[in-house]
Structure 1
Amino acid sequence: MSLENSKQISAASLQPEVWTSSSNDALKLFITDGEQAINFQPLFTYPIFGDAETIYGYKDLNIFLCFDHYTFKPFLNIKYKEKLDDPELVDLKATMDKYVPECTVFKDEIAWVDSINEEKKSYQIPGARIDSFKKDDIEYQIYKIDLKSAAGLELHKRLQILVLLYIEAGSFIDAEDDLWDLYVLYEKAPEDKEPSIVGFTTAYNYWKYPGAKNFDNEKLEVRIKTSQFIILPTYQGQGLGQLFYSHLCKYWLANKDIVEIVVEDPNEGFDDMRDRADLKRLGELGFDFDKVVAKDIDQEWIKNARAQLKLEKRQFARLLELILLYKLKHNKDVSKSEVRLFIKRRLYKKNKEGLDALDEATRRDKLQTAYQALEEDYYRILGDLRLPVKRKFDGKDSFESKKKKAD
């Protein structure tokens, strides 16, 4: 070992904090439209750099990962003031290469810009537009990406690193599996500019056994499960996630093969957004809120309504409870004791095995504590939400005809 290297390692052992970087701080993300670049930080980097989310051996480290706003072609640059001469150090370039597509341009920013301009000469969004909506006079468009095409698969490869950086415990999917769908939300730009990617979601089409008769008649039934859902940080806080989700549900409701819309392991933020979006959708579709009562609710109506709305049991149960708390809040023909019993009944069924092992007093206490926490959370979700009742929905009439009126 040279004297210089020996001094360097000795200095590092005396001042390890100088050579240790938070990978969450070191990784800097940018999206650019060629005129301006917007910076945002990742929430998680442990899938790339380990559970400690630290990088050792580099002084003043910055890892720049930039994307074009339209094609999402990435650019990677790694800068630092000084590096320890230690063969055990993490090779940052090799590490990042595992998670970015092969098209990623390294260090040469001019080459990256040139490659984007060349790609845009013939670039088209690799999929079909399935819906659009306006928010604050800006049009947004939803595309279902063709993952069977090379361009569609490449777009997914460019987007997928965001799953690791923004979804806790997120992981890459096998996009070559025909049962995966990718939907991308774009902000439509003026005629002389390209659209910008706002967010995306992946969804898996699970086959559902339709019963012997339908199976014999080759009837297809699918449970579509939303897996990953991301709105870019620069577009968050504008209600776009809720609109994106709601319009996807509208698209799936119109598909006769899809019988249930499911969400895989939603986090608290997504659950909140989903609850509010679903409640608003029920009002828009003419759902009969008068049918939701705390005592002697019509179980056949629940079955029919849930099936026609294509909601899973857990989510429909949450919506019924939210509606009851909403009615209670606004003094709408329900009593607190009946609502409390309605919700506790579900909580008991869900936790029956554990609760039955307790004595009666403890069991009552546990149920009351769970109810109070849930009630508080439901009121937080409801906030200032208003639930309009525009048309009657009895759970038996043709849902398709009512949906068309609401479109």
Structure 2
Amino acid sequence: MAGFGAVEKFLVEYKSAMEKKLAEYKCNTNEAIQLKLVRFAEDIDNDSTTFNPEYSHQIFGDDETVFGYKGLKIILYYNAGNLSTLFRIEYASKVSENFDCVEADDVESKIREIIPPGFYTNTDDFVSLLEKEVNFKPFGTLLHTYSVHNKEAGENITYEIYKADMTCTGFREYHERLQTFLMWFIETASFIDVDDERWNYFLVFEKYNKDGATLFATVGYMTVYNYYVYPDKTRPRVSQMLILPPFQGEGHGAQLFETVHRYYISSPIVLDITAEDPSENYVKLRDFVLVKLCQDLPCFSPDKLMQGFSQDMVTEAQQKLKINKQHARRVYEILRLRVTDMGDAEQSRGYRLDIKRRLIGPYKKKQRDLAKMRRCLRPEELTNQMNQIDISMQHEQLEESFQQLVSDYRRIIERLAQA
């Protein structure tokens, strides 16, 4: 028996040691993946130009890890303009070199699922392509030009926004490379059917100088799908929008959103403009741009705002700016907060009640549902449902929602003041 206990102890210790050893070969893919937009040869070895994904679960699973490598680097470098791609995998050691019984994850095949063929694996070959970047020009039709002051460079940098489609020579291949970024920065990203002609593509480029020539770098893009609305209208719906990380926080998202919105405003067949499953950041961006567009409309004047949300606001926002009722209501709430003295008890109470009347809608629906349940549920089932619709909890959640909304609205008002 004593001998058996010693064997059992040895096996437990051995298993623990093996698990600890194998854990060293587990890598976080968000850290292992290294992305870069390359303009100059020296960018390759410049760590400050490298950025990492926010997400990798769609490729590597919910835990965003791979097994089998120490010091894993998944290199995905892109030429800044046409996005020609360098793909390499580097590591200090691989588990199969030390453990015959365990196999490393096939990282390469997973990456190949999302990057199109034609990528480079040799760094020198990739760098040699930089000479051809001077030939790269933006696709499609120029819609808008703007400049942003760069403190580091001490100068204004020019950016251009274009509308493109699949008839543009080379755009299909370029778009295949561009859309790979979606997997790393949009949580529920998916590739679109580019053969469907109802898609529109809007692209942002930076103009920069290199050896006396003007070159273009990819900044970001937006895809929009044009839905048919009976009998003779369309409803453009923003599907995906991405400003690449090196350019985030510089106002490019707002420039792109406003340019796209103005493009559709000019079309008589567009009913209104919406978005598919918008993220929290997208909603904040949309609020800012729509408030900026609406603030000078007569129906949103301070005296009209203090009278409450009206059908005139809905009509004018829709007819002049293709903004639907739901978005017009948010614009109203933000602009009314701007003209409301929240230090004045009467004005503050009026604003609070106005917002809470809208916010309470879902809770009232729950109460109506509860009334229906009373007619068809057994007593024990009804008790269970009533526990889920506790009135005091509703008031608490309502106040929390109101405070969060006001906080979000104040940030938009501050940004408007700086614009």
TM-score range, shorter chain: 0.7 to 0.9
Cα contact 1:23–1:53 (8 A) shared by 2: yes
Cα contact 1:21–1:56 (8 A) shared by 2: yes
Structure-1 residue corresponding to 2:125: 111
Structure-2 residue corresponding to 1:397: none
Shift of 1:222: 1.1
Structure-1 residue corresponding to 2:137: 124
Structure-1 residue corresponding to 2:80: 69
Structure-2 residue corresponding to 1:138: 157
Gaps of 5+ in 1: 1-8, 210-214, 390-407
Shift of 1:296: 5.8
Match for 2:174 among 143, 148, 155? 155
Q: Which runs of 4+ in 1 moved over 4 A?
A: 9-12, 284-287, 294-297, 330-334, 361-365, 386-389
Structure-1 residue corresponding to 2:26: 20
Structure-2 residue corresponding to 1:100: 115
Gaps of 5+ in 2: 1-14, 44-48, 150-155, 372-385
Q: In angstroms, what is the RMSD of aligned CA positions? A: 3.0
Three-state SS of the structure 2 residue aligned to 1:141 is: strand
Q: Which amino acid aligns with 2:410?
A: L
Cα distance change, pair 153–289 in 1 and its aligned pair in 2 (3 A): same
Q: Which amino acid aligns with 2:413?
A: L
Three-state SS of the structure 2 residue aligned to 1:55 is: strand
Q: Are 2:345 and 1:339 equivalent residues in the alignment? A: no
Q: Are 2:204 and 1:198 equivalent residues in the alignment? A: no
5 Å-filtered alignment, 1:40-79, equals 40-79=51-90
Cα contact 2:202–2:222 (8 A) shared by 1: yes
Cα distance change, pair 310–332 in 1 and its aligned pair in 2 (3 A): farther
Cα distance in 2 for partners of 1:332, 1:192 equals: 59
TM-score (norm 2): 0.79
Three-state SS of the structure 2 residue aligned to 1:258 is: coil
Cα contact 1:343–1:371 (8 A) shared by 2: no
Provide the aligned length of Structure 1 versus Structure 2.
369
Structure-1 residue corresponding to 2:189: 170
Shift of 1:235: 0.9
Q: Which amino acid aligns with 2:28?
A: S
Cα contact 2:306–2:336 (8 A) shared by 1: yes
Q: Which amino acid aligns with 1:185?
A: V
5 Å-filtered alignment, 1:318-397, equals 318-329=330-341, 335-356=347-368, 357=370, 363=391, 366-367=394-395, 369-383=397-411, 385=413
Structure-1 residue corresponding to 2:202: 183
Structure-2 residue corresponding to 1:260: 272
Cα contact 2:337–2:351 (8 A) shared by 1: yes
Shift of 1:262: 0.7
Cα distance in 2 for partners of 1:19, 1:139 equals: 45
Q: Are 2:106 and 1:91 equivalent residues in the alignment? A: yes
Q: Are 2:332 and 1:311 equivalent residues in the alignment? A: no
Cα distance change, pair 127–238 in 1 and its aligned pair in 2 (3 A): same
Cα distance in 2 for partners of 1:298, 1:375 equals: 24
Cα distance in 2 for partners of 1:48, 1:388 equals: 39
Q: Which amino acid aligns with 2:89?
A: I
Shift of 1:123: 3.6
Three-state SS of the structure 2 residue aligned to 1:105 is: coil
Q: Deviations over 1:248-268 (max 9, x none)?
A: 212221122222111222222
Three-state SS of the structure 1 residue aligned to 2:340 is: helix
Cα distance in 1 for partners of 2:193, 2:131 equals: 29
Q: Deviations over 1:175-228 (max 9, x none)?
A: 22111111110112246131111111111111111xxxxx3xxxx311111111
TM-score (norm 1): 0.81
Cα distance change, pair 284–327 in 1 and its aligned pair in 2 (3 A): closer
Matched residues, percent identical? 25
Cα distance change, pair 299–336 in 1 and its aligned pair in 2 (3 A): same
Q: Which amino acid aligns with 2:29?
A: S
Three-state SS of the structure 2 residue aligned to 1:343 is: helix
Cα distance change, pair 388–69 in 1 and its aligned pair in 2 (3 A): closer
Cα distance change, pair 276–330 in 1 and its aligned pair in 2 (3 A): farther
Q: Are 2:248 and 1:248 equivalent residues in the alignment? A: no
Shift of 1:302: 2.5
Cα contact 1:20–1:58 (8 A) shared by 2: yes
